[in-house]
């Protein structure tokens, strides 16, 4: 794929290696209004059955196929619409991959497959890439299969900071695919001074021109960080309540114009919103397609950091094939090739060095290979237990439904 010219602004050049081609971003609208959003809220509150299903028998030795569900624009694609790294994987292993952009959102995807998962049935995918908190839910309900690390020797390349997470100790059930930040973006023509904090979004002069994300952990995470809460640490109802009160206030008084998923990009382009809480990779795309109009920053008090992870659904009969796929994508050269397209944080040690051979600027991109100072400003929203997930999710959803 031929890359687009990099933006002229030095700060954005640091954030961008190359733009993604399509008009949709990697994350799409989380929740609509009315019945659709209510259905999502109910799906999010499901706690699963008491009896956990059993894993399917593995037929990988005789069936050399994989079905992979992922987000939009989340793998390398060439001008013909083919996936070069997948083609190379098939040539190397003989395993054919049916790749689909079936994950439009964590909650909507879960809503489509949760009944089959609860019964231990095949959901039509052997591997899916979902965000940390949703992976934690699936593991808790027994909806994922344990990974055989002996089949994934390249897992030794997993960055040390990602090897042991609270929702999956020792990475028994999941392995990171890509990660990213939530931060603040602004129209540089209208707001040339930029932003360093979430509080600046509440300036009365910007009333009705602010957008926020419909992903609870990102919007609430940034507000809580702005209020001095360590979202990775110990906090509870009081801290979340203070942040939800602030959010509710800014929605009720009209400061916040829209609460959206990836469609917030349209509001930035048509200038309905001049600043927003955003996902880093989307601003990469916007600047490439619209002339470098937006700045992006992780707030001084911190932004959120998340990962999307490979999981094998409980009903998949091809786990060993998936383990070979994961092993392949943990080769540093392959990880660097994917990173050059998707512009998100790669979890693979050695990929930065491999990226130097592709483009030194790519290797210095803080969105792909963040250094210690960048990571010091990024925080992972701690894993919620079932009760907290229902309660906090319902509080956030109530504001979305009333907005």
Region 85-94 average pLDDT: 98
Count of H helices and E strands in the chain?
Answer: 15, 10
226-273 tens-digit pLDDT: 999 999 999 999 999 999 999 999 999 999 999 987 678 899 999 999
Give the whole-angstrom CA distance, residue 7 versus residue 237.
Answer: 43
Sequence-distant (≥ 6) Cβ neighbours of residue 208 within 8 angstroms: 254, 255, 257
pLDDT of residue 72: 81
Asked if 175 and 152 count as a contact pair (C-beta separation under 8 A), the reply is yes
20-44 tens-digit pLDDT: 333 334 443 333 333 344 444 444 4
**pTM attached to this predicted model:** 0.78
Residue 89 has pLDDT above 50, yes or no: yes
- Among residues of the chain, what percentage have pLDDT more than 70? 87
Q: Among 102-106, 118-122, 204-208, which stretch is predicted with the lowest mean pLDDT?
A: 102-106
Tell me the residue ranges of DSSP E strands in 159-201: 175-187
State the first-to-last Cα distance of the chain, in angstroms, to the nearest integer. 41
Residue 303 has pLDDT above 90, yes or no: yes
- Stated as kind and residue range, the H or E segment containing 117 is helix 106-118
Sequence-distant (≥ 6) Cβ neighbours of residue 368 within 8 angstroms: 17, 339, 343, 344, 345, 346, 355, 362
Residue 402 has pLDDT above 50, yes or no: yes
């Amino acid at each position: 794929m031929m890359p687009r010219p990099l933006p002229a602004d030095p700060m954005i050049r640091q954030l961008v290696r190359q733009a993604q081609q399509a008009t949709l971003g990697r994350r799409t609208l989380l929740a609509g209004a009315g019945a659709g959003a209510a259905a999502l809220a109910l799906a999010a509150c499901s706690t699963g059955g008491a009896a956990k299903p059993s894993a399917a028998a593995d037929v990988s030795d005789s069936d050399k196929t994989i079905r992979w569900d992922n987000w939009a624009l989340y793998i390398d694609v060439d001008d013909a619409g083919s996936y070069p790294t997948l083609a190379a994987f098939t040539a190397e292993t003989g395993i054919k991959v049916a790749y689909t952009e079936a994950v439009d959102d964590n909650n909507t995807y879960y809503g489509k497959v949760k009944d089959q998962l609860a019964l231990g049935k095949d959901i039509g995918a052997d591997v899916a890439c979902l965000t940390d908190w949703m992976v934690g839910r699936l593991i808790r309900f027994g909806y994922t299969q344990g990974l055989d690390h002996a089949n994934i020797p390249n897992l030794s390349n997993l960055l040390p900071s990602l090897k042991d997470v609270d929702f999956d100790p020792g990475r028994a059930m999941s392995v990171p695919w890509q990660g990213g930040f939530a931060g603040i973006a602004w129209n540089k023509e209208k707001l040339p001074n930029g932003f360093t904090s979430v509080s600046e979004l509440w300036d009365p002069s910007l009333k009705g021109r602010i957008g926020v994300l419909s992903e609870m952990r990102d919007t609430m995470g940034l507000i809580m960080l702005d209020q001095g809460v360590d979202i990775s640490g110990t906090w509870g109802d009081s801290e979340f309540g203070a942040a939800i009160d602030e959010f509710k206030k800014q929605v009720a008084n009209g400061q916040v114009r829209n609460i959206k998923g990836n469609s917030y990009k349209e509001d930035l382009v048509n200038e309905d919103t001049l600043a927003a809480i955003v996902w880093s990779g989307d601003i990469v795309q916007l600047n490439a397609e619209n002339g470098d109009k937006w700045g992006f920053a992780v707030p001084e008090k911190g932004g959120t950091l998340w990962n999307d992870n490979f999981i094998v659904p409980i009903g998949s009969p091809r786990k060993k094939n998936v383990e070979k796929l994961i092993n392949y994508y943990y080769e540093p050269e392959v990880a660097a090739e994917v990173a050059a397209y998707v512009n998100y944080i790669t979890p693979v040690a050695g990929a930065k060095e491999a990226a130097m051979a592709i483009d030194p600027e790519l290797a210095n991109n803080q969105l792909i290979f963040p250094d210690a100072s960048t990571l010091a400003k990024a925080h992972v929203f701690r894993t919620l237990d079932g009760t907290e997930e229902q309660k906090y999710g319902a509080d956030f959803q109530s504001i979305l439904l009333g907005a």
